[in-house]
């Protein structure tokens, strides 16, 4: 992986770049708020509006930002998998982590299953686990896990706590609650069912 694909400090970037991104985000948020909530005051004439209209502007923006954040998380996952599965030059978990300023294990936790077995011909060190039930983000998903973590541990210790988009977390739970998946029986270690929610 090129050494220059590493995190950049945003406030150290040029004023022109930061302004361009700010304006682009404004356009995206204007589009989302208009499509979702109809016409709302633009930022330009916001101060000419009554307090209720200004409040609704900020609430609509907040809702749009939440949707944009979810889409960015989806794009992050897609690009991580695409980089890791690139024929002829696959990225490793170390590469993925370096790109966003986290370690290899952090990248493995953020994008489980992104990196396939390292070299053809080697015995598989990972197994495919199918998830069932729970939030739409994970129901039916198939994820690669280390074989030893699935088959060599006590059944009660097998499973995972998966990050889930906040809109799929039931009301009343923290926004960072994790979806708990685990096998129900010894002979179904690679089929993990939704067990409930756990704190982050």
Mean predicted confidence (pLDDT) in 10-26: 88
Residues 79 and 141 in one domain: no
Task: Report the phi/psi class of residue 111: left, alpha or beta, with left for phi > 0 and alpha for psi in -120 to 50.
Answer: beta
Going by C-alpha positions, the residue among 167, 158, 168 that lies closest to residue 195 is: 158
Residues 98 and 164 in one domain: no
Residues 95 and 131 in one domain: no
135-149 confidence digits (pLDDT tens):
988 998 888 888 888
50-102 confidence digits (pLDDT tens):
888 888 888 888 998 999 998 999 999 999 999 988 888 888 888 998 899 88
Going by C-alpha positions, the residue among 192, 169, 189, 170 that lies closest to residue 181 is: 192
Residues 6 and 104 in one domain: yes
Burial bucket for residue 50 (CB in 10 Å: 0-12, 13-18, 19+): exposed
Residues 28 and 88 in one domain: yes
Global model pTM greater than 0.75: no
Residues 108 and 145 in one domain: no
Q: Phi/psi of residue 182, each to 5°?
A: -160, 155
Q: Which domain holds residue 155?
A: 119-198
3-state helix, strand, coil in the chain (%, to 5): 45, 15, 40
- Domain end position, chosen among 52, 82, 116: 116
């Amino acid at each position: 992986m090129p050494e220059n694909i590493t995190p950049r400090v945003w406030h150290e970037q040029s004023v022109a770049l930061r302004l361009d991104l700010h304006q682009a985000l404004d356009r995206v948020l204007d589009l989302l708020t208009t499509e979702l909530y109809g016409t709302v005051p633009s930022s330009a004439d916001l101060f000419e509006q009554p307090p209720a209209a200004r409040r609704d502007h900020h609430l609509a923006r907040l809702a749009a930002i939440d949707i944009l954040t979810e889409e960015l998380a989806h794009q992050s996952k897609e690009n991580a998998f695409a980089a890791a599965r690139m024929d002829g030059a696959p990225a490793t978990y170390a590469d993925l982590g370096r790109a966003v300023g986290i370690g290899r294990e952090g990248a493995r936790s953020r994008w489980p299953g992104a990196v396939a077995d390292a070299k053809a011909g080697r015995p598989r060190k990972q197994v495919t686990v199918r998830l069932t039930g729970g939030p739409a983000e994970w129901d039916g998903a198939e994820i690669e896990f280390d074989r030893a973590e699935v088959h060599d541990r006590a059944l009660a210790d097998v499973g995972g706590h998966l990050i889930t988009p906040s809109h799929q977390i039931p009301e009343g739970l923290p926004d960072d609650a994790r979806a708990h998946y685990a096998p129900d029986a010894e002979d179904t270690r690679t089929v993990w069912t939704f067990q409930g929610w756990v704190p982050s």
